[in-house]
C-alpha cells in the first residue's frame, strides 16, 4: 500500500511540473554528455600515449659537412667523435635509461631518403654527403628524454638531439585543451542541473504542502513524506544520464569507430566498450546530483 501511494505521488509530482521535469532531463543530459566526453577525451589521450610513446625514438644527429652549429665547427663528425658518443651512451649513468640503440650511417640514411623522396624535383641536387649519420635511441621511459639531451647536446660531433615526441605533443595539447573546455562546460551545466532539480523539487513540495501537512499530522515519518520528492528528482536526472550514455555510445560507434576508424585505422581510438565503462559513473553522478539537491531543498520545504 505504501509503495503504491509513493508511486502515485511521484506520478502526480511529475505531471504537475512536467515542463520543469523535461528541463531537468535535458540539462542533465547535456551536462553529463560533456562530462562523458571529457572523460573519453582524456582516455583517448592515454591511448595515444600508450601506443605512440612506446615507439618514440630520440635521434642524435651527428655533424654533416658544412653545418653552422658551433659543435660542428670542426666539420663532419669524425670516427673518434662518434666513438665518444657511443661511450657516453654505454656509461653507467646513461645506459639504464636506454632500451635500444641503433646507429644509422650516412649511406643508410641516403637509402631511406631515396626511398621517400626520389620523386621530388630537388632530389637530384642531393647526395650521400648531405646526409646525417645518427644514433636512434629508444628509452626505457620516454619521459626521461632530458637525460640524453643534457649529456649529448653541444658535444663535439653532435649537431642536434631531437625527441620525436615533439611531433605528437601539439596533438596532445589540442586534446588536453578540448578536455578542459568540455570539463568547464560540464561544470556550468551541472550547476544548472542542480539548480533546476532544486527548483523542481521546491515547486512540487509547495504544490503539495497541504498533503504533506496532513501526512505529518497522521504520524507519517519524515522519510516517507520526502521520499516521493527525492525519487522525482532522481528519476528525471537518471533519464538524463541514460540519454547522455546513449548519445556518447552513438557518437563513439558511428563517428569514432565508424568514420574515423575506417579512414585512419592506424590510430588507437576509444571504443564503445570504454563508453560502457563510463556509463555507470554518469548514472551514479546523476543520482548524486539529485540526492544533493533533495537534501538542500526538502529539509526546508517539507516542514509543517
Buried b (16+ CB within 10 A) or exposed e, 97-136: bbeebeebebeebbeebeeeeeeeeeeeeeeeeebbbbbe
What is the structure's pLDDT at 266? Answer: 65
Highest mean pLDDT among 54-63, 217-226, 293-302 belongs to 54-63
Of 19-23, 111-115, 117-121, 147-151, the poorest mean pLDDT is in: 19-23
What is the structure's pLDDT at 5? Answer: 46
Helix, strand, coil tally for the chain in percent (to 5): 70, 10, 20
DSSP state of 155: -
Contact between residue 248 and residue 37 where contact means Cβ atoms under 8 Å apart: yes
Sequence length of the chain is: 304
Domains and their CATH numbers in the chain: 2-52+169-301 (no CATH), 58-163 (3.30.70.3040)
Residue given cell 515519518 in the structure block: 221
Task: Indicate the pTM of the whole model.
Answer: 0.62
* Gyration radius from the chain CA atoms: 32
What is the structure's pLDDT at 51? Answer: 65
d(CA 55, CA 17): 57
Tally Cβ neighbours within 10 Å of residue 268: 15
Of 64-68, 173-177, 262-266, the poorest mean pLDDT is in: 262-266
More confident residue, 227 or 57: 57
- pLDDT tens digits for range 155-164: 888 888 887 7
- pLDDT tens digits for range 207-245: 555 555 555 555 544 555 556 667 777 888 888 899 999
d(CA 114, CA 191): 59
Torsion of CA 17, 21, 24, 27, to 10 degrees: -110
Amino acid at each position: 500500500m505504501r509503495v503504491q501511494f509513493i508511486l502515485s505521488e511521484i506520478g502526480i509530482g511529475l505531471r504537475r511540473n512536467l515542463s520543469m521535469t523535461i528541463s531537468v532531463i535535458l540539462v542533465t543530459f547535456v551536462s553529463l554528455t560533456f562530462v562523458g566526453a571529457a572523460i573519453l577525451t582524456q582516455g583517448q589521450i592515454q591511448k595515444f600515449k600508450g601506443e605512440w610513446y612506446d615507439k618514440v625514438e630520440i635521434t642524435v644527429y651527428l655533424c654533416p659537412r658544412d653545418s653552422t652549429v658551433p659543435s660542428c665547427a670542426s666539420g663532419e663528425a669524425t670516427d673518434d667523435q662518434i666513438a665518444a658518443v657511443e661511450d657516453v651512451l654505454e656509461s653507467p649513468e646513461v645506459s639504464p635509461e636506454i632500451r635500444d640503440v641503433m646507429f644509422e650511417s650516412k649511406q643508410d640514411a641516403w637509402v631511406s631518403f631515396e626511398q621517400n623522396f626520389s620523386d621530388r624535383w630537388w632530389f637530384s641536387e642531393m647526395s650521400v654527403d648531405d646526409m646525417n649519420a645518427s644514433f636512434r635511441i629508444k628509452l626505457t621511459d620516454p619521459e626521461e628524454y632530458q637525460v640524453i639531451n643534457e649529456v649529448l647536446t653541444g658535444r663535439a660531433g653532435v649537431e642536434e638531439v631531437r625527441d620525436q615526441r615533439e611531433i605528437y605533443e601539439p596533438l596532445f595539447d589540442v586534446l588536453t585543451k578540448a578536455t578542459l573546455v568540455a570539463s568547464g562546460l560540464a561544470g556550468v551545466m551541472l550547476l544548472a542541473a542542480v539548480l533546476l532539480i532544486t527548483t523542481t523539487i521546491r515547486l512540487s513540495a509547495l504544490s503539495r504542502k497541504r498533503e504533506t501537512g496532513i501526512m505529518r499530522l497522521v504520524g507519517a515519518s519524515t522519510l516517507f513524506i520526502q521520499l516521493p520528492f527525492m525519487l522525482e528528482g532522481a528519476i528525471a536526472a537518471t533519464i538524463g544520464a541514460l540519454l547522455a550514455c546513449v548519445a556518447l555510445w552513438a557518437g563513439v560507434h558511428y563517428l569514432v569507430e565508424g568514420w574515423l576508424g575506417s579512414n585512419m585505422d592506424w590510430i588507437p581510438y576509444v571504443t564503445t566498450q570504454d563508453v560502457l565503462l563510463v556509463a555507470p559513473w554518469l548514472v551514479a553522478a546523476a543520482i548524486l546530483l539529485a540526492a544533493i539537491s533533495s537534501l538542500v531543498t526538502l529539509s526546508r520545504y517539507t516542514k509543517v
